[in-house]
Amino acid sequence: MTETARELMRALGGKAKVAAMSHEQRADALEDFDISKLDAASETLRETHEWPTVAELDARVDQRGYRRGVGSLFRNSSYREAVDPPLPEGKVKRLKKMPEAPTLLDFFDARFAPSAHLLQSAALANRRGAAEETVLACLLHDMGGYLMKSDHGYWGAQLIEPYVSEKVTFAVRQHQALRFFADPATGYEYPVRYYEAFGFDYVPPPYIQAAYDYTRNHKWYMEARLVTMNDLYTFNPDIKIDIDEFREIVGRHFKQPKEGLGYDNSPVAHMWRTMINPDAPL
């Protein structure tokens, strides 16, 4: 447990109490934590920590047996890994067998779990009274990272495009670029963990700058911005949000194909199949 997580647990009266909380109470706790602790922690980190440079991170590329952009389903790793270990340790886990016609929730259960980052981001959006489509966008925003971390917002948007509204796809796709640009009016700051992940002197490439300019002037700017505002960069592994909390929202806004994701002959079916069976050799 991180020190901030320990602090939260203490403030809430311990692990058992947190486990006994309702969804609503936990979401409250999460939001309080987000505001009162994480901002302060981020500020201290920003000032006191020594961050790697882009060149230093680049020097580590050939010191690993994997590439940092690889999807988290394909190696022994957690989804969130600001500081890469020099080499992955341990083995990948055996994946659950999936139903013949898998639903989105089956993927959460059998491929993305524990997916704490997605669940906590969506819970925060929900608690803040966001529209259902925004909650869905938050729930799905980093899903692409299971398949491919590099450009994960684009992969994620492509995966869901046939099944959700244009607005949800837009929000997921454009969060990729917006993450790198602060918006003081909404309270969104450049994430401290990006200093570690990208290097403190990192400058986003021109295509990201262009995507940001495009999104900034788009009528749905706030749809994508809300994804970044509810994106919990430091999340607490001890607060468990159940996917059931979002079952109805998914039911209303995700058009589940009756053949199952991966088997509906959509242009992205193969991408879902790859997540069903990432152990296929070819």
Distance CA 57, CA 75 (A): 20
Distance CA 196, CA 191 (A): 10
Comparison of 98 and 146: residue with beta carbon closer to Fe ion: 146
Comparison of 196 and 231: residue with beta carbon closer to Fe ion: 231
Q: In 3D, which of 249, 243, 226, 260 has the Cα closest to residue 109? A: 243
Measured in residues, the chain has a length of 282
Comparison of 12 and 172: residue with beta carbon closer to Fe ion: 172
Q: Is the CA virtual torsion 271, 191, 122, 186 positive or negative?
A: negative
Residue 23: both structure tokens together: 């969804």
Residue 150 beta carbon to Fe ion: minimum distance, rounded to whole angstroms: 12
246: enclosing H helix or E strand: none
Locate tokens 């961050």: which residue? 51
Q: Would you tell me which residues interact with Fe ion (CB under 5 A)?
A: 142, 231
Residue 179 beta carbon to Fe ion: minimum distance, rounded to whole angstroms: 6
Comparison of 34 and 142: residue with beta carbon closer to Fe ion: 142
Residue 226 beta carbon to Fe ion: minimum distance, rounded to whole angstroms: 12
Residue 172 beta carbon to Fe ion: minimum distance, rounded to whole angstroms: 9
Residue 254: both structure tokens together: 């995700």
